[in-house]
């Protein structure tokens, strides 16, 4: 495993970090608790020391399972990355900016983006309780909230840093302008954004800015929620409440199948899966510091972690990129 510092925060994380969205179950069709905890334990055993989660993931369940999974382990050797700013509980209903309706165990739950100072403090205390810890290594704004001034949000994070309740502060899904505005108030450690072979828009603006400012990019959805594994082109049946039923339709299926077929022999020659080749490609892209990879069970977690062992030579990277160009053509 490789490790990297988040900006200049002093917080070092594994370059491949465990993404805990799917184990929460919400929007992913559920997941068995024993499999989720086994996936976390397998990741830790493979050197993946960092876990990225959020209160919204499973409406608290993801954080609770992580707390259970790391109980009794050396907390100093594990980095917990969590978030705030997506609220669903009744005490916050109607506050902030309406985002969407989530389907949770047959019920519709309105979700709001809300990053006011009081909400941040409340959410952090709830996360600390669920995770069974007294500090967070990286606390991130989950989504920007148009109803709260960015400087108010950043000032709250600065206070939490001073109090020692968090070791570093970051943002997620911020535009370049929002990122610049945030940095006028607080020196951030990271920005977490969607990035994959099929979604490289941040290379035009976010990547150059973060490289200049020594901000780490944490890339989520590197496998495009499983699409780049190839298995969803093989008569896969997603559950009705799995958000990917509608999500996958935006991508050119036939071109992606052709691309995956082209790089499969390269992966096989390396004794790797296509997923491992894709993950390793992502970790090697300029400006990308950390790549999140989710796993529903121990087998998937081990496969993800071992992607870091895949060696991609310069000429092989050129070949992959040439094949990738056909997807955009």
- Which domain does 47 fall in, by range? 3-230+274-311
**316 occurs within a structural domain:** no
Q: Once rounded to an integer, what is the mean pLDDT over residues 271-292?
A: 96
pLDDT beyond 50 at 66: yes
Rounded to whole angstroms, the Cα distance separating 84 from 90 reads 16
**329 occurs within a structural domain:** no
Counting residues of the chain whose pLDDT is more than 90, the rounded percentage is 71
Contact 148, 114 (CB under 8 A): yes
Quickly count: other Cβ atoms within 10 Å of residue 209's Cβ. 17
pLDDT band at 272 (very low <50, low <70, confident <90, very high): very high
pLDDT band at 249 (very low <50, low <70, confident <90, very high): low
Specify the higher pLDDT residue, 327 or 163. Answer: 163
CA dihedral 160, 161, 166, 169 (to 10 degrees): 100
**239 occurs within a structural domain:** no
Q: For this structure, is 57 an active site residue?
A: yes
- How many structural domains are present in the chain? 1
**99 occurs within a structural domain:** yes
Q: Once rounded to an integer, what is the mean pLDDT over residues 96-100?
A: 86
**124 occurs within a structural domain:** yes
Rounded to whole angstroms, the Cα distance separating 325 from 167 reads 40
Q: Note the pLDDT of residue 130.
A: 96
**105 occurs within a structural domain:** yes
pLDDT beyond 80 at 237: no
CATH number at residue 162: 3.20.20.100
**319 occurs within a structural domain:** no
Q: Once rounded to an integer, what is the mean pLDDT over residues 255-269?
A: 92
Q: Note the pLDDT of residue 147.
A: 94
pTM exceeding the 0.85 threshold for the entire prediction: yes
Q: Could you say which of 57, 114, 195, 220 is catalytic? A: 57
**95 occurs within a structural domain:** yes
Strand partners, 135: none
């Amino acid at each position: 495993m490789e490790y990297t510092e988040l900006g200049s925060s002093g917080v070092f994380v594994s370059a491949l970090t465990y993404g805990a969205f799917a184990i929460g179950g919400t929007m992913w069709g559920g997941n068995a608790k024993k499999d989720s905890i086994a996936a976390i334990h397998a990741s830790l055993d493979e050197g993946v020391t960092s876990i990225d989660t959020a209160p919204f993931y499973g409406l608290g369940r993801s954080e609770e399972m992580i707390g259970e999974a790391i109980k009794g382990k050396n907390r100093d050797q594990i980095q917990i990355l969590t978030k705030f700013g997506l609220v669903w509980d009744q005490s916050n209903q109607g506050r902030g900016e309406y985002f969407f309706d989530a389907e949770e165990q047959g019920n519709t739950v309105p979700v709001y983006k809300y990053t006011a100072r009081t909400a941040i403090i409340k959410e952090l205390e709830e996360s600390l309780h669920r995770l069974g810890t007294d500090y967070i290594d990286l606390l991130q704004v989950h989504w920007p909230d148009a109803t709260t001034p960015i400087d108010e949000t950043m000032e709250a994070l600065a206070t939490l840093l001073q109090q020692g309740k968090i070791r570093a502060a970051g943002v997620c899904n911020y535009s370049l302008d929002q990122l610049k505005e945030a940095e006028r108030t607080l020196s951030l450690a990271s920005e977490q954004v969607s990035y994959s072979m099929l979604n490289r828009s941040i290379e035009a603006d976010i990547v150059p800015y973060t490289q200049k400012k020594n901000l780490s990019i944490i890339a989520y959805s590197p496998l495009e929620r499983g699409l780049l594994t190839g298995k969803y082109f093989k008569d896969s049946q997603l559950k009705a409440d799995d958000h990917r039923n509608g999500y996958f339709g935006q991508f050119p299926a036939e071109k992606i199948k052709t691309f995956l077929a082209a790089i499969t022999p390269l992966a096989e020659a390396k004794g790797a899966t296509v997923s491992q080749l894709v993950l390793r490609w992502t970790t090697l892209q300029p400006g990308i510091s950390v790549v999140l990879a989710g796993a529903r069970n121990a087998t998937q977690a081990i496969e993800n972690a071992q992607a870091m062992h895949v060696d991609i030579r310069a000429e092989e990277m050129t070949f992959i990129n040439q094949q990738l160009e056909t997807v955009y053509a």
